[in-house]
C-alpha cells in the first residue's frame, strides 16, 4: 500500500525559543551552548540561529571555535527545562493530527497521513499544523512529506526554514539524484569520505555501486545505503514516545588524568542523575558512559543490566566500572566525561 508520511522539525529550535523570549536578540547572531569564556570555553555549541550559521557556526562545534568565528555573537547557556516544556506543548499539538505519530527528539516527529490518501490533502493538513504551532507558540517549523520516513525527513531538511516541501513518489528520483551522499541519513562525514575517495559524491553516483560492494565496504548498513539511495524505506511510524533517558556530562577546565578530579566530577554526575531517577520514580536498565579525550576523540561504553533497577549503589558501581575501563584502555588526557541512563 502507498503510504504518505510527514516529518516536522522545528527551525533552530533552542535558539528560536531564546529569540522568542528575548525579541531584542532577533536579527543578531545567537549561539546556545557552553560558556565561551572569551574563547577559552571548552564545551560545545547546542545550536545557533541562521544569522550565526552564516559565520559557519553549527551544532556540536567546540564553543571556542564558534567564538573565534563570531566573537560578537550573543552566547546563551542551555535552558533545557524551558525547551522541554515548549517541546511537550508542541508534541501535544502534533499528536492531534494523526493517530499514528512518532516523536523522534525534542523538536521533531513523524505523522503517518496515509489515511488522507491524496497529497493535496496532506499539504493542507501540514499548513494547518504549522500554523497552529505558530499561533500557539510563536515558533516556525518545517514539514516534509513523502512516501516514507526517509523522504519525509530529507524533504523537511531541504525545506528549511519555515518551509513545506512535498516530494511525490514520481519526484523521488529527481529529488535524490543531485543531492550529496552526506544528505542521506546514516551517511556521516566518515562514510562520505570513504565514498568520495572512490569518486562517489552525489546520490546519483552512489546508485552505481552494487549492493554487495556496499556491503563489503560498510557491512550491514551498506545494504541500507543501497535502498536509501533509491528512496526505499519500509520502517513504520511506530507510535511511541522517544525512549527517555537522563544524561549529564562535564567538560574539565583542563584536559586531565588526575583521578581525584575525574572521579569527583563523575560522582557529581552520578548524584545528579540519581536525584532525577528518584524524584521521578524511574527505573533504568542501560547505562552509557561517554569519554572525550584530548583532541576531541570521543568514545562510549554501555552496559545493560539483567533487569531494571532504581538503586544508587548499582548505578555507582556499574558507571564507575565503565569509566575505569576507559582509564585502563586509553592513556590520553580526558576532556569530558558523561553518563546517560535509559529509562525503562
Residues contributing to the site for ligand TTP (CB under 6 A)? 9-14, 46-47, 59-60, 106-108, 160-161
Nearer to ligand TTP among residue 247 and residue 311 (C-beta): 247
CB 264 → ligand TTP: shortest distance, Å?
26
Instruction: Report the residue number, 54 or 117, with the smaller CB distance to ligand TTP.
Output: 54
Indicate the residue among 13 and 101 with the shorter CB distance to ligand TTP: 13
Select the binding partner of residue 102 from Mg ion, ligand TTP, none (C-beta < 5 to 8 A, by kind): none
- Find which of Mg ion, ligand TTP, none residue 47 binds, CB within 5 to 8 Å per kind: ligand TTP
The contact mask relative to Mg ion for 8-47 (x = CB under 5 A, - = no) is -xx--x----------------------------------
> Which residue's CB is nearer to ligand TTP, number 209 or number 336?
336
Rounded Cα gap, residues 226 and 213, in angstroms? 10
DSSP, collapsed to helix, strand or coil, labels residue 340 as: strand
The residue among 270, 284, 282 whose CA lies nearest residue 319 is: 270
Largest CA distance in the chain: 63
In the three-class reduction of DSSP (H, G, I as helix; E, B as strand; rest coil), residue 201 is classed as coil
**How is residue 86 written as a grid cell?**
515548549
User: What does 191 interact with, of Mg ion, ligand TTP, none (CB < 5 to 8 A by kind)?
Assistant: none
Taking CB under 5 A as the rule, which mask of x and - marks residues 54-93 in contact with Mg ion? Answer: ----------------------------------------
CB of 11 to ligand TTP, least distance (A): 4
Q: What angle do CA 72, 73, 78 make, to 5 degrees?
A: 140
Residue 112: contacted member of ligand TTP, Mg ion, none (CB under 5 to 8 Å, by partner type): none
Asked if residue 307 lies in contact with residue 235, where contact means CB atoms within 8 angstroms, the answer is: no
Residue placing its CB nearer to ligand TTP in the complex, 86 or 319: 86
Question: Among ligand TTP, Mg ion, none, what does residue 169 contact (CB within 5–8 Å per kind)?
Answer: none
Catalogue the active-site residues.
108
Which three three-digit cell numbers place residue 45?
A: 555549541
3-class state of residue 43 by DSSP: coil
Q: How far apart are CA 98 and CA 328, in angstroms?
A: 50
Between 12 and 282, name the residue whose CB sits nearer to ligand TTP.
12
Q: Is residue 34 classed as helix, strand or coil in its secondary structure?
A: coil
Within the chain, residue ranges assigned H as helices are 13-21, 50-53, 63-69, 80-95, 119-137, 149-159, 172-176, 189-197, 203-206, 211-218, 220-229, 259-279, 312-329
Q: Retrieve residue 205's grid coordinates.
A: 553516483
CB of 226 to ligand TTP, least distance (A): 26
Nearest approach, Cβ of 98 to ligand TTP (angstroms)? 20
* Residue 8 touches which of Mg ion, ligand TTP, none (Cβ within 5-8 Å per kind): none
Q: Least CB distance from residue 82 to ligand TTP, whole Å?
A: 12
**Shortest reach from residue 110's CB to Mg ion, in Å:** 12
For the chain, the distance separating the N- and C-terminal CA atoms, rounded to the nearest angstrom, is: 34
Please, what is the minimum distance in Å from the beta carbon of residue 310 to ligand TTP? 27
Distance CA 66, CA 49 (A): 12
Question: Which secondary structure element, helix H or strand E, spans residue 229, and what is its range?
Answer: helix 220-229
Write the DSSP symbol of residue 237. P
* Residue 13 vs 218, nearer CB to Mg ion: 13
Site string for Mg ion, 96-135 (x = CB under 5 A): -----------xx---------------------------
Identify whether 259 is preceded by a cis peptide bond (ω within 30 of 0): no
Distance CA 19, CA 52 (A): 13
Kindly list the residues in this chain that would bind Mg ion in the complex (CB under 5 A): 9-10, 13, 107-108
Amino acid at each position: 500500500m502507498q503510504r504518505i508520511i510527514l516529518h516536522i522539525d522545528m527551525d533552530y529550535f533552542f535558539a528560536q525559543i531564546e529569540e522568542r523570549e528575548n525579541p531584542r536578540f532577533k536579527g543578531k547572531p545567537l549561539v546556545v551552548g557552553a560558556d565561551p569564556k572569551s574563547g577559552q570555553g571548552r564545551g560545545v555549541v547546542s545550536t545557533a540561529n541562521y544569522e550565526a550559521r552564516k559565520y559557519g557556526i553549527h551544532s556540536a562545534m567546540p564553543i571556542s571555535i564558534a567564538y573565534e568565528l563570531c566573537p560578537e555573537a550573543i552566547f546563551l547557556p542551555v535552558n533545557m527545562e524551558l525547551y522541554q516544556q515548549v517541546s511537550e506543548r508542541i508534541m501535544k499539538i502534533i499528536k492531534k493530527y494523526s493517530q499514528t505519530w512518532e516523536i523522534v527528539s525534542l523538536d521533531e516527529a513523524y505523522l503517518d497521513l496515509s489515511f488522507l490518501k491524496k497529497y493535496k490533502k496532506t499539504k493542507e493538513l501540514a499548513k494547518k499544523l504549522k500554523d497552529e504551532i505558530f499561533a500557539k507558540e510563536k515558533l516556525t517549523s518545517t514539514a516534509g512529506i513523502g512516501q516514507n520516513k526517509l523522504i519525509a525527513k530529507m524533504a523537511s531538511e531541504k525545506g528549511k526554514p519555515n518551509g513545506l516541501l512535498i516530494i511525490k513518489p514520481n519526484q523521488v528520483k529527481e529529488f535524490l539524484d543531485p543531492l550529496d551522499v552526506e544528505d542521506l541519513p546514516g551517511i556521516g562525514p566518515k562514510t562520505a569520505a570513504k565514498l568520495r575517495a572512490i569518486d562517489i559524491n552525489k546520490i546519483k553516483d552512489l546508485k552505481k555501486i552494487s549492493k554487495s560492494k556496499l556491503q563489503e565496504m560498510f557491512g550491514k548498513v551498506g545494504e541500507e545505503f543501497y535502498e536509501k539511495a533509491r528512496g526505499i524505506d519500509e520502517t513504520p511510524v511506530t507510535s511511541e514516545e522517544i525512549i527517555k533517558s537522563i544524561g549529564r556530562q562535564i567538560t574539565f577546565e583542563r584536559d586531565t588524568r588526575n583521578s581525584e578530579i575525574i572521579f569527583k566530577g563523575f560522582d557529581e554526575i552520578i548524584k545528579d542523575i540519581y536525584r532525577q531517577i528518584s524524584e521521578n520514580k524511574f527505573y533504568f536498565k542501560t547505562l552509557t558512559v561517554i569519554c572525550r579525550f584530548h583532541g576531541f576523540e570521543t568514545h562510549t561504553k554501555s552496559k545493560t543490566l539483567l533487569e531494571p533497577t532504581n538503586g544508587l549503589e548499582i548505578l555507582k558501581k556499574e558507571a564507575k566500572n565503565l569509566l575505569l575501563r576507559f582509564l585502563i584502555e586509553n592513556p590520553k588526557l580526558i576532556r569530558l566525561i558523561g553518563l546517560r541512563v535509559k529509562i525503562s
